[in-house]
Amino acid sequence: MTTSIQFWDYSVWDFLVTLSVLFLAMLAANGLRRTIPFLKKSLIPSAVIGGFLVLIFAGIFKLITGNSPFSVVSVESLTYHCLGLGIVAMSLQGSTKRSGKEARRDVFNSSLTTVSTYLVQALTGLIITIVLFFLIGSWAQSGILLPMGYGQGPGQAFNWGTTYMNSYGFEHGSSFGLSVAACGFLAASIGGVIFLNVEAKKGLKRDADAEEKEDLSAVVITTRGEIPLSESLDKLTVQFALVFVSYAIGFGIMLGCSKLCDISGVGFLINTVKPLIWGFNFLFGMLASFLMRSYFKFGKKAGIVHRSYTNDFLLTRISGLMFDIMVVASIASIDLSAFRYPEFWLPLILITVAGGFVSFFYVRFISRKFFKDYSSEQFLVMYGMLTGTVSTGLILLREIDPLYKTPAASNVVLQNLWSIILGAPMLLLLGVVAQSMQMTYITLAILAVLLAAMLILLYREQIFHKKKKAEKA
């Protein structure tokens, strides 16, 4: 009798070895971060430090042996899928709504800040890379990856970098996108530390025990009416099942839409819309999680479902796990050989440095103007999110608001739906910007118009009051 696999074959262990390397790097990074004062003060997330540790280790290993210590496909797949799974876990959580006119205004203004910062980053990046295209022949549209790496994070930077590499000939596109995201984490940490130190001299108080303060009461961990922590099926198992089933439903929707594009035979649908579908796996995951939540809500009203199956505490832990894996895998996926070419590293340095500066000053200005009661807290969480991830923003926020007493933390969570709606036109432009130089210029013009529209919406109250005063006069 023969068997299809041998347990000693490396293919059986490849994925587990890859995961083990990533987790070991995160543990080592966490130990370094807690013991080395410089790293602790830098506020760089452990997953980011772990990613660089793996990148250095992989580079040395390849230099000595000529081979990679793990499967590149595995780490790239983890980057892609962990983004979608993390977003699904966040979307399955029950939203804690803030009531009142001011609360709704702040949430909406937070979404406008998010989308307008994306646009500022996109304009900055594109202008720089278009100029470099004529000077050194670098890929003209690479600057559009700045808001993907900074504003959206490693998952989206990898998705679109890979799409441009495979469909439009952007050499080392995936590594470029991932490198932008890695620089974003550094920009978040450097900018955050500089801000905290400058503001401390003006009287802003930092919390020395920010990392140790957590609200772990039973009310936070579980609520009345939920399934028990452990029965025939463990509660954590149920949460993972809901996340993966939702993501699988999202995959089914994506597959169906993709097949329709192929069947249509229309070039625009096949070459532009189809890559957009697979590039936005997290959006389809969010849609599926909404359907899952709607099913439970309908089931309760119909008397079919009698208990709450989702648990916000455990889903938060799952999303945190997925985002940590995504970050460390994304940095580990960077191809260091690409840095040999000036047309790769010169645009990368210029757009990331410029992106860090414009993001810092733009978000600071908006926070002071529209979030006056907690401008420092709003700035830290928004700047951290718009150069790294939501987790990066919360790390910075905890330095001055460890228990999230201000609305800043809830603003970044509740603004997601508005951000998707308002940011949809810009996201659609990602599929056309690289089709030709003419489309690149058109995209640049549309981005400027969209930014103007976001600013008008931000200043809507001032504009409205001026018109009201003029009418009274």
Least confident of 83-97, 337-351, 371-385, 429-443: 83-97
Is the pLDDT at 49 greater than 80, yes or no?
A: yes
In a domain, 242, yes or no: no
pLDDT digits (tens, 9 = 90+) for 246-258: 999 999 999 999 9
In a domain, 297, yes or no: no
Interval 228-234 mean pLDDT: 76
Interval 106-124 mean pLDDT: 94
Q: Phi and psi for 138 in degrees, rounded to 5? A: -70, 170
Interval 336-363 mean pLDDT: 93
Q: What span, in angstroms and rounded, lies between the C-alpha atoms of 406 and 400? A: 10
Interval 285-306 mean pLDDT: 88
Is the pLDDT at 199 greater than 80, yes or no?
A: yes
pLDDT at position 345 is 93
Q: What span, in angstroms and rounded, lies between the C-alpha atoms of 327 and 253? A: 26
In a domain, 156, yes or no: yes
pLDDT digits (tens, 9 = 90+) for 130-141: 999 999 999 999
In a domain, 56, yes or no: yes
Q: What span, in angstroms and rounded, lies between the C-alpha atoms of 343 and 348? A: 9
In a domain, 181, yes or no: yes
In a domain, 82, yes or no: yes
Q: How many domains does the chain have?
A: 1
Least confident of 19-28, 148-157, 346-355: 148-157
Domain extent, residue 444, equals 10-222+311-472
Whole-prediction pTM value? 0.82
Cβ-Cβ contacts under 8 Å for 288 (sequence gap 6 or more): 88, 246, 247, 248, 249, 250, 253
pLDDT at position 219 is 47
Average predicted confidence (pLDDT) for the chain: 86
In a domain, 4, yes or no: no
In a domain, 418, yes or no: yes
Between residues 124 and 154, which one has the greater pLDDT? 124
